[in-house]
Every structure is written in C-alpha cells, then in structure tokens.
Amino acid sequence: MPRGRGSDSRGKILDAAARLLLRDPSKLTLDAVAAEAGVSKGGLLYHYGSKAELLDAVVDRWESTFQEEIEAVADPSPGGWTRAYVQVTARDFVDPHEREIDSGIVAAMVLNPDRLETVRARYRSWQERLADDGIDEVDATLVRMAAEGLWFCELLDLGPPTGELREKLLARMRELASE
C-alpha cells in the first residue's frame, strides 16, 4: 500500500537515525539526523518533538519489524511461535548489516537508559506469548533465553559458536520448542 507524504518523511528520518546509530550512537543529535535525512530541523521536529521521541520511534520500528517477521513465519501448532522466534532471531545473525543496526540500537539504549521501558514492555509481551505457546513454559523460556544469548554473543563477538555447532544449537532450540 502506498504511504502518504508524511509517512515517507517519517521513514526517511528513522532511516537516517538508524544510519547515524550505526556510525556512532553517542553523536545522535536532532541536527545530525535532520542533515542525514535531508530535512530541516523544523521538519524533523514536526514528526518527532524530541530526541527521546525519535529514539522511541527507532526502537519501536526495530521491535515491530522483528515481531512482524515472527508472525509471518509462525505456524499455529504448539511451539510454533517459539520456533519462529528462534528462526527470526537466528536470521538476524547472518546479515552483517542487521547486526550493525542492532548494535547501534543497543548502544543507543545503553546511552539513553530511560528509553528502555518500551523495550522491557515488548519483551514482557513476547515472554507471555511464549509462555502460552502450547509447550512447556520452562522449555519455551529456555529457548528464548538461548536464542537471545546466542544473538548477544554474535552481536558483541563474544566467542559465538559457528558452523556445525551453531546449527546443532539452533536445531536443539527448535526441538525443545516442539516437545
């Protein structure tokens, strides 16, 4: 569906903020985002009244996209949403650009911890969804924690498992989500 002019401007601004987060999250300013997006600072402020609102929108788009991808591949069988969570999380690992975006967004959240509440709320809702996915709640939670642990190890290059071991770990997570 075509988006209106306002949506295009908002998207350009969010894309610009994401690019700046990639380069150096500590230098994310409204002036820098406006320049990167090719809009006036007033135009940026029309859509996002503050840096906090802008960061919230960047993080919300990041999380919403993640959830939409899960919903797109989840099947209705018991554990289907949990397996989709693993699949989508693992897919982010193999795309270096996505990992860079994730790194920038995580860094922005660390630099602006007051922005974390929306992230915490989204993760609580995902945990509730996993707990009600028709499989053992402990297994579903263990799978989520393992998938996120693998994601963070790869994101920060903390000795992540690779190759066959990585594939075996993912297979085991999917297996736990099927029991």
Q: What is the dihedral of CA 92, 94, 99, 100, to 10 degrees?
A: -140
Give the contacts of 110 (CB within 8 A, at least 6 positions apart): none
The model's pTM is 0.81
107 and 40 assigned to the same domain? no
94 and 33 assigned to the same domain? no
60 and 43 assigned to the same domain? no
Question: What pLDDT tens digit does each residue of the chain (179 aa) get?
Answer: 222 334 588 888 988 888 888 788 778 899 999 999 999 999 999 999 998 889 888 888 888 888 999 999 999 999 999 999 999 988 865 666 666 777 777 877 777 787 788 888 889 999 999 999 999 999 999 999 999 999 889 888 899 999 999 999 999 999 999 97
Q: Provide the residue range defining the domain that includes 80.
A: 56-176
